[in-house]
């Protein structure tokens, strides 16, 4: 069996969590081992709750509406002679499914998972990790955002924008939307968890994008990133 000899790059520009963490990541299986290694580096073994959704934060806020292709209309689809009767191909980028409905269900799922983690930890959920990644198939399928057509920097900035939109949403509505209520109608947790966003490339290297609230004792993610050499591309 081959053994891993490559040392992963893991950020340390934020204070490590002291109690429980909820981790939100993509469903992509290619980086699962790397994600577990990253969480182990933060000493989170056996104390994190893991939620996976396609694209991580892709459908959890209205940010996707800025990038979505147009809905498919009848004149945008044509029969495909190479597929079974009734099959169609798209003439131009458009989405053939109800993204509003689908993404709304993903959002409710995530909110329910946050509430469950708050209840199960008895209000000791101190951090939430939002982990985006390179070459995301969900962005390619739902948003027509193909990693091969983007520069590394543009792709990172896109994921940073989506993850930051989720951070902003949690900040604005934690008490009213995300917080759980106990049987006495009292919020389970008074203090909002710290919110961290990350980006993982296909080699498993992790970039720390942001932390809210910022850790005063640590350098900012951007200032640290300028000192980190870029990783070679692994795309074909």
pLDDT tens digits along 165-221: 999 999 999 999 999 998 889 999 999 999 999 999 999 999 999 999 987 766 554
The confidence band for 89, taking pLDDT boundaries of 50, 70 and 90, is low
User: Which CATH number is 57's domain given?
Assistant: 3.40.1050
pLDDT value of position 81? 54
Residue 26 belongs to domain spanning: 20-68+98-225
Residue 7 in domain: no
The pTM score is 0.82
77-81, 98-102, 124-128 — which is least confidently predicted?
Answer: 77-81
Handedness of CA 209, 135, 26, 66 (dihedral sign): positive
Nearest to 198 by CA among 95, 128, 149, 150: 128
- State yes or no: pLDDT of 125 exceeds 90: yes
pLDDT value of position 11? 87
Residue 84 in domain: no
Q: At a CB cut-off of 8 Å and minimum separation 6, what does 232 contact?
A: none
Total domains, the chain: 1
* Alpha helix positions (H), the chain: 32-41, 99-120, 137-143, 152-173, 221-225
Residue 35 in domain: yes
pLDDT value of position 86? 52
Query: In a 3-state reduction of DSSP, which class is residue 192?
Result: coil
- State yes or no: pLDDT of 66 exceeds 50: yes
Radius of gyration, alpha carbons of the chain: 20
- State yes or no: pLDDT of 25 exceeds 60: yes
Backbone conformation region of residue 177, classed left if phi is above 0, alpha if psi is from -120 to 50, else beta: alpha
pLDDT value of position 2? 42
Q: What is the DSSP letter of 214?
A: P
The confidence band for 5, taking pLDDT boundaries of 50, 70 and 90, is very low
Residue 218 in domain: yes
Residue 117 in domain: yes
Residue 14 in domain: no
Residue 112 in domain: yes
Mean per-residue pLDDT over the chain, rounded:
85
The confidence band for 84, taking pLDDT boundaries of 50, 70 and 90, is low
Question: In angstroms, rounded to a whole number, what is the distance separating the alpha carbons of residues 29 and 133?
Answer: 11
The confidence band for 236, taking pLDDT boundaries of 50, 70 and 90, is very low
Q: At a CB cut-off of 8 Å and minimum separation 6, what does 159 contact?
A: 56, 132, 133, 136, 199
**Mean per-residue pLDDT, 225-233:** 41
Residue 199 in domain: yes
Q: What is the DSSP letter of 66?
A: G
Read out DSSP for 72-97? Answer: P-GGGEEE-TTS-TT-EEESSSEE-S
The confidence band for 128, taking pLDDT boundaries of 50, 70 and 90, is very high
């Amino acid at each position: 069996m081959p053994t891993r000899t490559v040392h992963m790059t893991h950020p340390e520009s934020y204070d490590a969590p002291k109690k429980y963490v909820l981790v939100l990541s993509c469903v992509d299986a290619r980086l699962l081992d790397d994600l577990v290694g990253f969480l182990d580096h933060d000493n989170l073994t056996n104390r994190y709750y893991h939620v996976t959704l396609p694209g991580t934060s892709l459908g959890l806020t209205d940010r996707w509406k800025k990038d979505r292709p147009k809905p498919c209309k009848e004149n945008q689809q044509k029969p495909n002679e190479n597929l079974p009767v009734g099959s169609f191909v798209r003439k131009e980028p458009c989405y053939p499914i109800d993204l509003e409905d689908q993404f709304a269900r993903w959002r409710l799922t995530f909110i329910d998972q946050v509430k469950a983690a708050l209840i199960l930890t008895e209000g000791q959920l101190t951090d939430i990790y939002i982990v985006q990644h390179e070459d995301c198939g969900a962005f390619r399928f739902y948003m027509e955002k193909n990693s091969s057509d983007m520069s590394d920097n543009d792709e990172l900035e896109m994921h940073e924008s989506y993850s930051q939109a989720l951070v902003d949403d949690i900040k604005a509505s934690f008490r009213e939307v995300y917080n759980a209520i106990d049987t006495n109608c009292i919020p389970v947790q008074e203090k909002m968890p710290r919110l961290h966003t990350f980006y993982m490339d296909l080699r498993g290297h992790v970039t720390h994008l942001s932390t809210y609230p910022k850790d005063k004792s640590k350098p900012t993610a951007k200032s640290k990133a300028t000192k980190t050499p870029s990783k070679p591309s692994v795309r074909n």
